């Protein structure tokens, strides 16, 4: 098969190299297109545009395959700890026992945040959305650790920054929650696991010893792994583009948190539960919601359905649906919203509109139901996604930096007014 693509423009023929990925994915390398032809490509939403060659995550949307560094998501969710997966995504291989000990130890010893940050929290209004607080707090970490701002990135500085960020994000997330509900913040406890410590800071109170429930700890470990990376999605691309200007890791990840917040991306987990709650409260037939989602004059979409790359099924959704049944069963919770979700899935999957467009439940359809069962408030759902996605953002930022990728800067086709002379104020109509 030819390893070049031919393009005919205004009667002239040009050749462009074809790239083949490790899993036989094909791409036409048009990096020299404008220089040789004067043309650019147009691809709103980057639906067909590869922005990088990455060795981190492999995703086959047609066949529902997701692998981190070659390991299947099913196996990692079943057998690994979140810290092992974080190490894998960032450093390329699963850690051996010594490497994992060092990684855990380093992270455990950076969990405290500067006391001055408490004053930032105090300034937020009561009930402030935790995602807004988290994004600001992550960006402000750069002011406490100015060495992270050095664009000539030294490998030790980068590692320290990476460990600090992984260590501090659960502390900041839990503090955002405590501020949101007006409860005293808890200091981290270094004898607990990464997830256990987060639970202690979320649900512990100063007067009592908090006991980590292994069912909740294991469910959160699995959810974090399922969210840990998803190649060039909206927030990850944001992190890479911000980082491509040589902005520091904290600022780049803060931008990723903001991108994740939107309801079409990570914010969908909050939107799904709100939608299911409305369906329950209104009691109207499920078909009427499906009809609204199909109606092009109505902006309503079935939240938790559809995906830019999965057109058959989302492997994460399959694992989460099963986990939702297990976790609710183990905790003895009967949530009517889970039944509504299953019925809605059934109706949608048999509807021609959804079938034709390849719209299936995505990772966010069932995750909110588990978060709710675990006692996590709705406002915190997207924060949970951010905690899980952090190692992916870091791994992708590190890869982009090590590959010395050029600054991200797309082109456009201008459609505004052509040149016109300035009209003084008195002469304007
Ligand atoms: N409900 C109703 N119609 C939909 C939906 C939906 N949830 N999703 C897509 N469509 C329709 C859309 O109207 C379009 O129809 P037509 O071809 O007739 O114009 C067609 O399906 C293709 O949709 P699109 O918007 O071009 O697809 P996209 O790849 O740009 O968008 C998406 C992907 C995830 C933003 C979209 O499916 C959506 O808005 N879903 C609901 C929000 C959601 O659950 N987001 C979480 C994504 S998974 C977590 C993450 O990693 O971010």
DSSP state at residue 312: S
Share of the chain above pLDDT 90, in %: 87
Using pLDDT thresholds of 50, 70 and 90, give the confidence band for residue 1: low
Q: What angle is formed at CA 200 by the lines to CA 138 and CA 256, rounded to 5 degrees?
A: 20
Looking at ligand 1, which residue's alpha carbon is closest to its atom 4? 301
Let me know if residue 127 belongs to a domain. yes
In this predicted model, what pLDDT tens digit does every residue of 78-89 receive, in sequence order? Answer: 999 999 999 999
- For the chain, the domain total comes to 3
Residue 312: the pLDDT is: 86
Let me know if residue 218 belongs to a domain. yes
Give the binding-site residues of ligand 1, using a 6 Å CB cut-off: 45, 230, 233, 264-266, 268, 293, 301-308, 357, 359, 362-364
Let me know if residue 409 belongs to a domain. no
39 vs 390: CA distance, rounded Å: 37
Torsion of CA 136, 153, 405, 99, to 10 degrees: -90
Q: With a threshold of 0.85, does the pTM exceed it?
A: yes
What's the mean pLDDT when you consider all of the chain? 94
List the beta bridge partners of residue 8: 13
Q: Which residues are catalytic?
A: 307, 364
Residue 150: the pLDDT is: 78
Q: What angle is formed at CA 399 by the lines to CA 94 and CA 194, rounded to 5 degrees?
A: 45
Other CB atoms within 10 A of residue 225 CB: 25
Looking at ligand 1, which residue's alpha carbon is closest to its atom 17? 357
Model confidence at 105: pLDDT above 90: yes
Model confidence at 152: pLDDT above 80: no
Let me know if residue 298 belongs to a domain. yes
Torsion of CA 23, 18, 56, 240, to 10 degrees: -160
Is 419 within 8 Å of 111 (Cβ atoms)? no
Using pLDDT thresholds of 50, 70 and 90, give the confidence band for residue 145: very high
| Phi, psi dihedral angles at 221 (to 5 degrees) | -55, -45
Is 389 within 8 Å of 235 (Cβ atoms)? yes
Residue 153: the pLDDT is: 66
- Structural domain of residue 145, as residue ranges? 81-260+384-402
In this predicted model, what pLDDT tens digit does every residue of 314-370 receive, in sequence order? Answer: 999 999 988 888 888 998 988 899 899 999 999 999 999 999 999 999 999 999 899
| Phi, psi dihedral angles at 8 (to 5 degrees) | -110, 120
| Judgement on whether residues 272 and 229 belong to the same structural domain of the protein | no
**Gap from CA of 91 to ligand 1 centroid (Å):** 33
Polymer length in residues for the chain: 429
Residue 102: the pLDDT is: 97
**Gap from CA of 307 to ligand 1 centroid (Å):** 6
| Judgement on whether residues 254 and 166 belong to the same structural domain of the protein | yes
In this predicted model, what pLDDT tens digit does every residue of 357-409 receive, in sequence order? Answer: 999 999 999 998 999 988 899 999 999 999 999 999 999 999 999 999 999 99
Let me know if residue 201 belongs to a domain. yes
Q: What is the mean pLDDT of residues 11-32?
A: 97
Q: What is the mean pLDDT of residues 138-156?
A: 84
| Judgement on whether residues 335 and 373 belong to the same structural domain of the protein | yes
In this predicted model, what pLDDT tens digit does every residue of 23-76 receive, in sequence order? Answer: 999 999 999 999 999 999 999 999 999 999 999 999 999 999 999 999 999 999
Looking up residue 294, the CATH number of its domain turns out to be 1.10.230.10
| Judgement on whether residues 182 and 249 belong to the same structural domain of the protein | yes
Query: Which of 260, 297, 306 maximizes ligand 1 atoms within 8 Å of its Cβ, making it the mutation to test the pocket?
Result: 306
Let me know if residue 67 belongs to a domain. no
Model confidence at 154: pLDDT above 80: no
| Judgement on whether residues 361 and 391 belong to the same structural domain of the protein | no
């Amino acid at each position: 098969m030819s390893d070049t693509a031919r393009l005919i423009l205004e009667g002239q023929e040009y050749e462009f190299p074809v790239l083949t990925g490790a899993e036989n994915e094909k791409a036409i390398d048009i990096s020299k297109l404008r220089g040789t032809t004067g043309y650019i490509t147009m691809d709103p939403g980057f639906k067909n545009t590869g922005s990088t060659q990455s060795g981190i995550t492999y995703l086959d949307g047609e066949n529902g395959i997701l692998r981190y560094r070659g390991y299947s998501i099913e196996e990692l969710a079943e057998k690994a700890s979140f810290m092992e997966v974080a190490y894998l995504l960032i450093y390329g291989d699963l850690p051996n026992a010594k490497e994992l000990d060092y990684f855990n130890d380093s992270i455990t010893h950076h969990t405290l945040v500067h006391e001055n940050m408490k004053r930032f929290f105090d300034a937020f209004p009561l009930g402030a959305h935790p995602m807004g607080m988290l994004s600001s707090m992550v960006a402000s970490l750069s002011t406490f650790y100015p060495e992270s701002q050095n664009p000539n990135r030294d490998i030790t500085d980068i590692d320290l920054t990476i460990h600090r960020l992984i260590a501090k994000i659960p502390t900041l997330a839990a503090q955002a929650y405590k501020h949101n509900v007006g409860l005293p913040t808890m200091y981290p406890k270094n004898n607990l696991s990464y997830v256990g410590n987060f639970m202690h800071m979320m649900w512990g109170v100063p007067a009592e010893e908090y006991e980590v429930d292994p069912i909740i700890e294991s469910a959160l470990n699995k959810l974090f792994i399922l969210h840990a990376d998803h190649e060039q999605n909206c927030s990850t691309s944001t992190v890479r583009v911000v980082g491509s200007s040589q902005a520091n890791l904290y600022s780049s990840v803060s931008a990723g948190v903001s991108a994740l917040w939107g309801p079409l991306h990570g914010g969908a987990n909050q939107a799904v539960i709100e939608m299911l709650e409305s369906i329950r409260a209104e009691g109207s037939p499920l078909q009427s919601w499906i009809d609204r989602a199909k109606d092009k004059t109505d902006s309503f979409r079935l939240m938790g359905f559809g995906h830019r790359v999965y057109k058959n099924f989302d492997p994460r959704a399959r694992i989460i649906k099963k986990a939702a049944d297990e976790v609710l069963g183990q905790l003895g919770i009967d949530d009517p919203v889970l039944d509504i979700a299953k019925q809605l899935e059934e109706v949608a999957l048999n509807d021609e509109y959804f079938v034709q467009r390849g719209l299936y439940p995505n990772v966010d359809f069932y995750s909110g139901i588990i978060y709710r069962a675990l006692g996590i408030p709705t406002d915190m759902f997207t924060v949970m996604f951010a905690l899980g996605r952090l190692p992916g953002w870091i791994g992708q930022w590190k890869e982009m930096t090590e590959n010395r990728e050029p600054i991200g800067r797309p082109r456009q086709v201008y459609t505004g007014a052509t040149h016109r002379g300035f009209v003084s104020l008195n002469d304007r109509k």
